[in-house]
């Protein structure tokens, strides 16, 4: 095996610098360093960079990075140590982010980089469990930093996500939406969404939140929405305008967060305007990877008395998943469209849009998820709802198409039948 060409040493050192920054959770800095290396014309370096960029680019561009890396490998000389390292790292990175990978092939290639890239050989041997994890086997070169920091695999941050949606229904008309999430924005995370339809409805939503221990969020919403009342087996629809601004400070700990703030709200519908200014708050608890519990409330007393609290408990695993929700607005004087509702993807997927609305609404969903770590998965589910006037049951099956390692880039298609009849639900991400 030939030693690493001296002219490439500086670029390879820069690549390792980016690897070290990544292991130290300095993702933005690492991506910037890797992109500087990407200008190098060497095919092996190009492939090494493109596979690394897959760890942090958006759900719209990670596939392009992978294709560029594979294309660069096709131009690589078989005996070039950087090309061999790129082939090894491809399998390791693909395995880390949940894509099919051939780790046995990566192991077979290890001897071919031992003399030219000894530190990389040591790190990859440790990564592939070919040598024991001992102080003597550790070094702080490139990805070796992850092991010195007790990280057995590469950290993967939340990635920038862009998604589009469309709908064509009798009730909502023809329309579309776009959603953007920026989770790593200099100490903040930002989400926004916009939708519009041929029924003169739509919305514009913004949410900015700090990521520190003592945090705060600012949220705005402008919406002209279609709201439905189900009366004597018939739907009546109403266009309602509303806008709100929410501001709340909070505290975040390792397994949860809590917040308390204010809301300025204005509603106009049925030739009447009303103010819903008041107080908002909540607690979120996430004791482990499977369990989540949340409690949220909002209250107002200006134009009318209204207090609503929502409590949700969920359990998610590679097999069973359960969600139970209690939504109450006792003795509310608020406009009817502010009462708890479910259906059409909100808490329930088979019941039609806003099929249930009540001051007391209990819902539950139980499902079993198959092949969650594969590109194509399946689910079977059942769902129930209870109000003082009715009880609902539904069940069905679904298909999951994973277009990226994260659940936000999962396309879901569910078919089911309930006491309200059949329905088809198309969404992005798991239902919960």
Report if pTM > 0.85.
no
- Return d(Cα 29, Cα 32) in angstroms, integer: 5
- pLDDT given at position 173: 82
- Return d(Cα 430, Cα 413) in angstroms, integer: 10
- pLDDT given at position 407: 53
Question: CA 237: distance to chain centroid?
Answer: 32
- pLDDT given at position 2: 47
Contact 70, 54 (CB under 8 A): no
- Return d(Cα 185, Cα 210) in angstroms, integer: 9
Half-sphere exposure of 139 (CA within 13 A, CB side): 13
- pLDDT given at position 143: 86
Contact 326, 362 (CB under 8 A): yes
- pLDDT given at position 6: 59
- Secondary structure percentages of the chain, helix, strand, coil, to 5: 25, 45, 30
Q: Tens digit of pLDDT for each residue in 388-413?
A: 999 999 999 999 987 655 555 578 89
Domain with residues 304-432, CATH architecture: Beta Barrel (2.40)
- pLDDT given at position 405: 56
Length of the chain: 432
- pLDDT given at position 220: 98
Contact 81, 42 (CB under 8 A): no
Q: Tens digit of pLDDT for each residue in 310-335?
A: 999 999 998 999 999 999 999 999 99
Question: Taking phi first (over 0 means left), then psi (-120 to 50 degrees means alpha), and beta for anything else, what does residue 373 get?
Answer: alpha
The closest of 220, 224, 198, 199 to 209, measured between CA atoms, is: 220
- pLDDT given at position 113: 94
Domain ranges of the chain: 6-148, 160-276, 304-432
Q: Which residues of the chain have pLDDT under 70?
A: 1-7, 38-40, 135-137, 152, 403-409
Question: CA 377: distance to chain centroid?
Answer: 17
């Amino acid at each position: 095996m030939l030693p690493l060409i001296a002219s490439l040493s500086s670029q390879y050192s820069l690549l390792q610098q980016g690897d070290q920054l990544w292991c130290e959770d300095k993702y933005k800095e690492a991506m910037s360093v890797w992109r500087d290396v990407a200008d190098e014309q060497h095919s092996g370096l190009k492939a090494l960079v493109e596979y690394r960029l897959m760890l942090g680019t958006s759900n719209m561009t990670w596939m392009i990075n992978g294709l560029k890396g594979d294309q660069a490998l096709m131009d690589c000389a078989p005996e070039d140590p950087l090309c061999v390292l790129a082939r090894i790292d491809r399998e390791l990175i693909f395995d880390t982010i949940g894509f099919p990978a051939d780790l046995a092939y990566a192991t077979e290639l290890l001897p071919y980089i031992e003399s030219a890239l000894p530190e990389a050989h040591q790190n990859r041997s440790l990564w592939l469990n070919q040598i024991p994890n001992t102080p003597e086997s550790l070094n702080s070169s490139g990805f070796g930093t992850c092991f010195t920091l007790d990280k057995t695999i590469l950290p993967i941050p939340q990635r920038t996500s862009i998604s589009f949606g469309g709908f064509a229904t009798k009730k909502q008309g023809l329309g579309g939406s776009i959603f953007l999430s920026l989770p790593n924005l200099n100490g903040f995370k930002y989400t926004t969404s916009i939708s519009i339809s041929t029924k003169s409805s739509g919305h514009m939503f913004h949410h900015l939140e700090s990521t520190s221990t003592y945090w705060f969020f600012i949220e705005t919403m402008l919406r002209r929405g279609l709201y439905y009342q189900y009366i004597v087996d018939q739907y009546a629809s109403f266009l309602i305008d509303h806008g709100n601004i929410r501001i709340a400070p909070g505290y975040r700990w390792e397994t949860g967060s809590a917040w308390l703030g204010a809301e300025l709200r204005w509603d106009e519908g049925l030739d009447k305007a009303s103010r819903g200014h008041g107080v908002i708050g909540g607690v979120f608890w996430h004791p482990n990877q499977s369990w989540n519990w949340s409690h949220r409330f909002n209250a107002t007393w200006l134009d009318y008395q209204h207090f609503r609290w929502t409590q949700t408990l969920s359990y998610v695993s590679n097999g069973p998943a359960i969600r139970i929700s209690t939504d109450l607005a006792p003795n509310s004087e608020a406009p009817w469209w502010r009462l708890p509702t479910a259906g059409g993807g909100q808490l329930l997927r088979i019941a039609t849009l806003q099929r249930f609305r009540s001051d007391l609404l209990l819902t539950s969903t139980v499902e079993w998820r198959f092949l969650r770590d594969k590109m194509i998965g399946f689910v079977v589910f059942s769902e129930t709802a209870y109000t003082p006037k009715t009880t609902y049951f539904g069940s069905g099956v679904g298909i999951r198409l994973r277009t990226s390692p994260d659940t936000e880039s999962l396309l879901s298609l569910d078919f089911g039948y309930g006491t309200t009849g059949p329905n088809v639900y198309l969404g992005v991400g798991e239902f919960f």
